[in-house]
A and B are shown apart, each in its own frame.
Chain A
C-alpha cells in the first residue's frame, strides 16, 4: 500500500501506456511526462502567485486580493483571463522578431531544467549522467532571452534593466555553480538521481542530508543567496526596480507576453528551488526515517513550496540592494566563501570518519565567514554615497 502510494504516478503512467502497442509506448510515455510537467508547473505558479500576494499583504498589514472567489483564491484565474484577452502592444520602433521570440526562449529554457529533476522515487524524465550540467546549461540560456527582451524593446529602461539583469545573473552564476561543485565532489557524480540516493540514508533515524554537514551548510547558504539573485528575486530585484527603471527588461511587454515573462520567472524559481532541494535537502527523501511512509513526491513538492515561502518571506523583509553592493557582495564575499568551502569539502573527504573533521571543518567555515565579514564591513564606507556621474 505504502509502495503503491509512493509510486502512484509511475504506476498510472505504466497503466495508461499499456493500452498502446509496444512500439508506441516509449514515445507516448515521454509525451505524457512532458505534458504533465508543462501543466503542473503553471498550476503551481498560480498557487505561488496567490500565496505571494496574500503573504506579502499579510506582512505589509493589508488584505491582498480578496474579491474573486472565497478569500480571493480565484484571483490567478482572473489574472490569467485578463492577460489572455489584453491587447498585445509592440512598440513601433521595436525589433518585432526578437521582441516576439524573447519570452518564448525564456519559457522553453526554464521548462527544460525539469527534464532531469528527480521529483520522487523513480520520477525523473531523463536520468542522464551529467544532469547537473544539463540544468546549468539550460539556465544559462535564460540570460540571452533577458537580453533579447531588453534590447529589442528600444526603450532605455528596458535596456538598462536587461544590462543589470545579465550582469547580475553572470556574477551570481559563478557562486551558484561553485557551491554545487561541493556536492559533486562528495557524491562523485553529476547525476541528480545519484545525489538524492546518496542522501537517502539514515543514522539513528536522522537523514544524511548534505545541509547537516559544515561544508553542506555553508554551500547551502551560498546557494540560497545565489539562487535568489539568479531568479531576480528581492532583495536582488534590481533588474526590475520599479522606482528606477519602470519594470526593467519587460517594460514594453503587455498581454500574454508579459504573462509569459511572469511565468518564466516563477517556473525558474521552482527550478532553482527544486535543484537546491535535490542538492542540499535530500530531494525526495523524508526528513526522518520514520516518515518514509509518506510518498516521496509529497516531500519533494513540500520542500519546494517551503523554499518558495522562504523567498516570499525574504521579499517581504529585506530592502533592495544597490548595484555596487550587489556586485561587491557577489565577488568579494560569496565567491571567496564558496572557494573556501571547496577546500573544506576536500578536507572533510580526506580526514576520514570521526569527530575531528567536524571540529576542523566547522572551525574553518566559521573563521572564514567571520573574518571575511569583518574585513568587508571595515572596508565598507558607510555614510552618504559619493556619486561619480551625478552630483
Chain B
C-alpha cells in the first residue's frame, strides 16, 4: 500500500461521497466521474492496463456524458429548494442499497480462496486478453456484440420514426 494508493483512494471516496451528498445534480455527475477515474487508476495500479483504460474510455468518456445529457435534457440541473439530505423514503433506499451490496459480497465470499497466497504478480498482456476473447470466450463476445448491434439499430430506428411521422 503505497502513498499513491492512499491519494487515489481518498480521491475516489471523496468523489463517490460527494456524488451522493451534493445538491446540484450536475455536480453529482461530475463527482461520480471523478470516482470512475479513480477506479481506473486503481486498475492501473494493479497492472491491469486494459481494464483500466477501458474503464476510463467507457465510464468517463461515455457513461458520465450520458448521465450529464440525461440530466440536462430532463431539466434536472436546477438546484432543488429542499435542503434535506435524506429523502423521505430513506429506509427503502437503505434496504435496496443493502441488498445490492449483499449480492456481490455473497458472491465474493462464495468464490475460491479470497486471500490469494502468491507473491508474484500475474502478468497478463493485452495480446493474451485479445487471444482469450477471440478463442475461449468468443461465444459470450459474439452474444454481447449482437446485443449491442441490436441496440444500435434500435436507437437508429427510434430516431428515424419521428422523422417519418413529421412527413406524413
A140-B166 contact given A166-B65, A190-B126, CB 8 Å threshold: no
> What 0/1 readout, one digit per residue, does chain B (65-82) give for beta carbons within 8 Å of chain A?
100110010000100000
The stretch that binds A, out of B6-14, B55-63, B91-99, is B55-63
Bound Cα distance A300, B60 (Å):
30
Chain B residues whose C-beta falls within 8 Å of the C-beta of A151 in the assembled complex: 26, 68, 72, 77
Chain B residues whose C-beta falls within 8 Å of the C-beta of A147 in the assembled complex: 65, 68
Within the complex, what minimum Cβ distance (angstroms) separates B23 from chain A? 12
> What 0/1 readout, one digit per residue, does chain A (136-147) give for beta carbons within 8 Å of chain B?
111111011001
Instruction: Indicate if the CB atoms of A133 and B65 lie closer than 8 Å.
Output: no
Within the complex, what minimum Cβ distance (angstroms) separates A317 from chain B? 31
Report, as a range, how many residues of chain A touch the other chain.
20 to 34
Instruction: Indicate if the CB atoms of B69 and A388 lie closer than 8 Å.
Output: no
Contact of A140 among B62, B77, B126, B156 (CB under 8 A): B62
Chain A residues whose C-beta falls within 8 Å of the C-beta of B72 in the assembled complex: 151, 159, 163
Chain A residues whose C-beta falls within 8 Å of the C-beta of B125 in the assembled complex: 129
Instruction: Indicate if the CB atoms of A166 and B57 lie closer than 8 Å.
Output: no
Task: Count CB-based A-B contacts (< 8 Å).
Answer: 72
Contact of A133 among B30, B54, B68, B156 (CB under 8 A): B54
Bound Cα distance A316, B35 (Å):
42
Instruction: Indicate if the CB atoms of B69 and A140 lie closer than 8 Å.
Output: no
Chain A residues whose C-beta falls within 8 Å of the C-beta of B77 in the assembled complex: 151
Within the complex, what minimum Cβ distance (angstroms) separates B165 from chain A? 11
Instruction: Indicate if the CB atoms of A143 and B61 lie closer than 8 Å.
Output: yes
Instruction: Indicate if the CB atoms of B26 and A137 lie closer than 8 Å.
Output: no
Instruction: Indicate if the CB atoms of B53 and A134 lie closer than 8 Å.
Output: yes
Chain B stretch 4-59: residues in CB contact (< 8 A) with chain A:
26-27, 30, 33, 37, 40, 49-50, 53-54, 56-57
Chain B residues whose C-beta falls within 8 Å of the C-beta of A368 in the assembled complex: none
17 further A-B contacts with Cβ under 8 Å, apart from A143-B65, A147-B65, A188-B127, are A98-B30, A128-B49, A129-B50, A133-B49, A133-B50, A136-B53, A137-B57, A140-B60, A140-B62, A141-B60, A144-B64, A144-B68, A166-B69, A170-B62, A170-B65, A173-B61, A189-B127
